[in-house]
C-alpha cells in the first residue's frame, strides 16, 4: 500500500486536526465557562450548586457544562437523576496557562487586577518546596479560606481550613507571632484579599499567595494526577 498522500488529503488532514483542536479553544472562549472550569478544578459540584455560585440559571449552567464536556475538559458522574461535574486533571495546565497569559499579557486584565487588588501583603507564589519548608518550620501559618468542601477535595499540605465566613471566629487560633498567609481559588479569587483585610484589622501580620491551590498543585508536576488536583 502506498504511503504517498496527495495534497488534497494532506490539506484535509490538517483542516480536520485544527478544526477539532479549535473546539477546545471555542469551549474556553466564554467567560462563564472559564469560571465554571475554575470552580470544577476546586471540587466536584452539581449543576444547582454551580448555578448558585455563578448567578446563572440552571438551564444556562447546564448548557455551558455540556460544551465543556464535549471538549473533554470536564467529566460527569450520575447519581440518580442528578449530574455531578468535575474538571479533568489534564485541563489543569491549560487553565493555568490561560489565566497566567491573561494576567501577564492582556492589558485589560492587568488593569482590572491592579484596580481590584491592592498591594497589601501581596506575596508572590513560592516554589512548592519553599512554601512547604516555611509551613513545616512554623514560620508561616497557612490558611485555606475556600469553602470546606474544596479544602476536603484537595489543599496545600500543612494548611488550616478556615472558610472566609468563619475567619472572624477563628482569630484567637491565629494570634501568634507568626505570619499568616491566606490562599483561595486562584489569582482572580477575592477571598484571600478579604481574609487579609480581616486579619490586618485584627492586628495580625497577614499576606496572601498570589495564586491558589490549583496553581500550587500544577507547579509540583508538569503532569498532575487525580491525587494532586481536585
CATH of the domain at 150: 3.40.250.10
Tens of pLDDT, residues 121-148: 455 456 667 778 888 888 889 999 999 9
Among residues 184, 189, 191, 195, the one annotated as catalytic is 184
Per-residue pLDDT of 60-119, as tens digits, reads: 999 999 999 999 999 999 999 999 999 999 899 898 888 888 877 888 887 777 766 665
Read off the pLDDT of residues 45-61 as tens digits, 9 standing for 90 and up: 999 999 999 999 999 99
DSSP 106-129: -HHHHHHHHHH---TTEEPPPPHH
Helix runs in the chain, H state only: 7-27, 31-42, 47-54, 58-70, 92-105, 107-116, 128-137, 148-153, 171-174, 191-201, 213-220
Q: Are residues 30 and 69 in the same domain?
A: yes
What was the pLDDT predicted at 145? 96
**Is 170 a member of any domain?**
yes
Whether 122 and 206 map to the same domain: the answer is yes
- Looking at per-residue pLDDT, the higher value among 115 and 224 belongs to 115
| Residues 83 and 123 both lie in one domain | no
Residue 50: domain span: 7-87
78: domain CATH number is 1.10.10.10
Structure confidence at residue 78 (pLDDT): 94
Give yes or no for residue 222 having a pLDDT over 80.
Answer: no
The reply to whether 38 and 124 lie within a common domain is no
Catalytic, 184? Answer yes
Residue 93 lies in a domain: no
pLDDT at residue 113 in the model: 72
Q: Is 76 found in the same domain as 136?
A: no
Q: Are residues 31 and 83 in the same domain?
A: yes
Provide the domain count of the chain. 2
In a domain, 111, yes or no: no
Long-range contacts of residues 54-60, Cβ cutoff 8 Å, at least 24 apart: 56/32, 60/32
Q: Where a domain ends, among 69, 87, 105?
A: 87
Residue 100: the pLDDT is 82
pLDDT at 128: 65
Amino acid at each position: 500500500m502506498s504511503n504517498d498522500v496527495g495534497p488534497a488529503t494532506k490539506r484535509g488532514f490538517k483542516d480536520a486536526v485544527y478544526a477539532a483542536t479549535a473546539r477546545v479553544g471555542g469551549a474556553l472562549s466564554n467567560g462563564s465557562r472559564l469560571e465554571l472550569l475554575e470552580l470544577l478544578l476546586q471540587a466536584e459540584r452539581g449543576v444547582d450548586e454551580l448555578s448558585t455560585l455563578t448567578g446563572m440559571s440552571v438551564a444556562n449552567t447546564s448548557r455551558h457544562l455540556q460544551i465543556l464536556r464535549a471538549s473533554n475538559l470536564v467529566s460527569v458522574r450520575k447519581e440518580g437523576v442528578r449530574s455531578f461535574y468535575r474538571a479533568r486533571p489534564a485541563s489543569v495546565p491549560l487553565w493555568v496557562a490561560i489565566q497566567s497569559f491573561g494576567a501577564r499579557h492582556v492589558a485589560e486584565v492587568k488593569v482590572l487586577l491592579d484596580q481590584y487588588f491592592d498591594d497589601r501583603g501581596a506575596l508572590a507564589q513560592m516554589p512548592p518546596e519553599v512554601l512547604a519548608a516555611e509551613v513545616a518550620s512554623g514560620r508561616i501559618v497557612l490558611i485555606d479560606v475556600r469553602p470546606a468542601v474544596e479544602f476536603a477535595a484537595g489543599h496545600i499540605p500543612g494548611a488550616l481550613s478556615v472558610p472566609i465566613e468563619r475567619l472572624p471566629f477563628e482569630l484567637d487560633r491565629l494570634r501568634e507571632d507568626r505570619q499568616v498567609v491566606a490562599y483561595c481559588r486562584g489569582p482572580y479569587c477575592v477571598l484571600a484579599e478579604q481574609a487579609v483585610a480581616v486579619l490586618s484589622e485584627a492586628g495580625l501580620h497577614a499576606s496572601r499567595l498570589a495564586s491558589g491551590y490549583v496553581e500550587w498543585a500544577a507547579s509540583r508536576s508538569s503532569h498532575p494526577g487525580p491525587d494532586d488536583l481536585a
